[in-house]
Amino acid sequence: MTNPLILSMRRTALLALAFVSLLTAGPLAKTSAAIENVLFLISDDLKASVLSCYGDQICQTPNIDKLASEGVVFDRVYCQGTSCGPSRRSFMHSRYQGEAKVNLGKHFIDNGIYSARVGKIYHMKVPGDIIAGTDGEDHESTWIERFNSPGLEAHTPGDYACLNLDIFTTDLAGRYSTAMPNRWFVTVSYDGDGSDQPDYKTASKTMELIRDHKDERFFIAAGFVRPHYPMVAPKRYFDLYPIEDIEMPHVPANDLDDIPPLGMAKTMSTKDPIGKYPDNQKRMWAGYYATVTYMDEQVGRIIDELERQGLRDKTAIVFTSDHGYHLGEHHFWQKSNLHEEALRVPLIVSVPGMKAGRTDAITELMDLYPTFSELAGLENLPEHVQGKSLVPVLEDTSATVREAAFTTGNSGYALRSNEWSYIRYNDDTEELYNMQSDPDQFSNLATNPEYASVVRSWRGKLVTHMNGAGLKRKVAKK
């Protein structure tokens, strides 16, 4: 039975919607007339390059690929924070740093639209908050209803592996599974059907909410935890990816010589024990692939339910991730640095009535807030929003809304345009890459005299972006 307080909130929201509809009818009618709902699907730690629709030749993601064929695929999308918490806080508030009173979900609620969360949207500790079924750093004001999706994570009975310590065991009561040493290298393959895992529960609850709210406008956000470590999935997903089929990323000799100390990842094959076990590095890829495919299946379940309820032609579907991930590129593992694999994320936006396509338009995750708002016909965008609406790009994939994407991290800052990647660290060391001729970022041009004018130009652009973001630190001149 629905809580009386929730029913009251819904009645208030519907009355507000009727009033707001009178105020907001006008310039956005052409774009938003058929868009009643927004379905926001977020994966965790998902690098763009691993998806089939982004060019991976091994990973099987048929449901995300189908969505990509029906929507606009953004090839140049970058996060504003280099780990879960800062990134999710940024796109939910559309701020480079800090928070605002009117977050994304509250903006929908204030406009009379039902807003709900299932799973991880703001930061949750994985596996801690997932095992406990707790809210993490959630903002209650974002949602009319919110639901967690608990699971056993690496304590799921099955074949446990701690790959950088070369530990393989089925003894999940033992000290290895309990302590989970270096858990970012943990995989668990088991014989279940997957219905006991958090992402399956997230999909099931999201499907239920779609059914329950099909007769009212909604903003529903479903947050999956995979492929975030520990990489847990039924054995049949692991079986899709034998390590014999996996080729590790090419790393040239002396690749690290021109990367400043602050540019090094915290976890590296050259320092961590994972470097001793080449096959285990491939098993890490296999676990990542397996959990991506498992997550993809949950995406498909949700979209199928949306179609069964007759809502596909009324609902904008958006799929993305909070940041990217390193799986051996430059000998780097995990996230939290300012290189391409850690910053670039997938973004697919499928809007009824808009043509499918692909775009190179430089995009920030912060742009989602104003995009959702415009698609839903909400003209009263809060003044604090720093993102830019992507509707012009959705209408014309050759359009652009910004020159460069700006990312802040603990070690420094990054700017990414279609041609250049510029990184400046807190000690004023720098990296510059020509992303047209060197997309893997193997040759740092920052100290090459031939590119001195390019470096000076990007220093100035970084100062401009920092000032625009309200950041106080000034970049030293050279």
In 125-198, the DSSP E strands lie at 145-147, 159-162, 167-169, 186-190
> CA distances (Å), 293 to each of 36, 227, 230, 346, in order?
30, 9, 15, 15
Q: Which residue has the higher pLDDT, 218 or 168?
A: 218
CATH numbers and ranges of domains, the chain = 4-468 (3.40.720.10)
pLDDT computed for residue 30 by the predictor: 39
Percent of the chain surpassing pLDDT 70:
89
pLDDT computed for residue 69 by the predictor: 98
pLDDT computed for residue 13 by the predictor: 41
pLDDT computed for residue 471 by the predictor: 87
Each residue's pLDDT tens digit, 443-463? 999 999 999 999 999 999 999
pLDDT computed for residue 322 by the predictor: 98
Each residue's pLDDT tens digit, 215-262? 999 999 999 999 999 999 999 999 999 999 999 999 999 999 999 999
Each residue's pLDDT tens digit, 127-163? 999 999 999 999 999 999 999 999 999 889 899 999 9
> CA distances (Å), 312 to each of 295, 352, 406, in order?
21, 7, 33
Let me know: does 286 contact 312? Beta carbons within 8 Å.
no
Nearest to 471 by CA among 401, 403, 412: 412
Q: Which of 10-14, 43-47, 303-307 has the lowest mean pLDDT?
A: 10-14
Does residue 476 carry a pLDDT above 80? Answer: no
pLDDT computed for residue 169 by the predictor: 86
pLDDT computed for residue 473 by the predictor: 62
Under the phi-then-psi rule, with left for phi > 0, alpha for psi from -120 to 50, and beta for the rest, what region is 98? left
Distance CA 411, CA 408 (A): 8
pLDDT computed for residue 284 by the predictor: 98
Each residue's pLDDT tens digit, 360-385? 999 999 999 999 999 999 979 999 99
Written as six digits, the tokens of 130 are 């997932």
pLDDT computed for residue 27 by the predictor: 33
Distance CA 14, CA 217 (A): 9
Each residue's pLDDT tens digit, 400-447? 999 999 999 999 999 999 999 999 999 999 999 999 999 999 999 999
The model's confidence at residue 189, banded by pLDDT at 50, 70 and 90, is very high
Does residue 26 carry a pLDDT above 90? Answer: no
pLDDT computed for residue 184 by the predictor: 78
Each residue's pLDDT tens digit, 349-360? 999 999 999 999
pLDDT computed for residue 155 by the predictor: 87
Nearest to 222 by CA among 236, 240, 204, 234: 204
Give the number of other CB atoms < 10 A from CB of residue 42: 23
Distance CA 99, CA 90 (A): 8
Does residue 53 carry a pLDDT above 50? Answer: yes
The model's confidence at residue 174, banded by pLDDT at 50, 70 and 90, is very low
Helix, strand or coil, per DSSP, at residue 151: coil
Distance CA 25, CA 351 (A): 19
Distance CA 128, CA 209 (A): 26
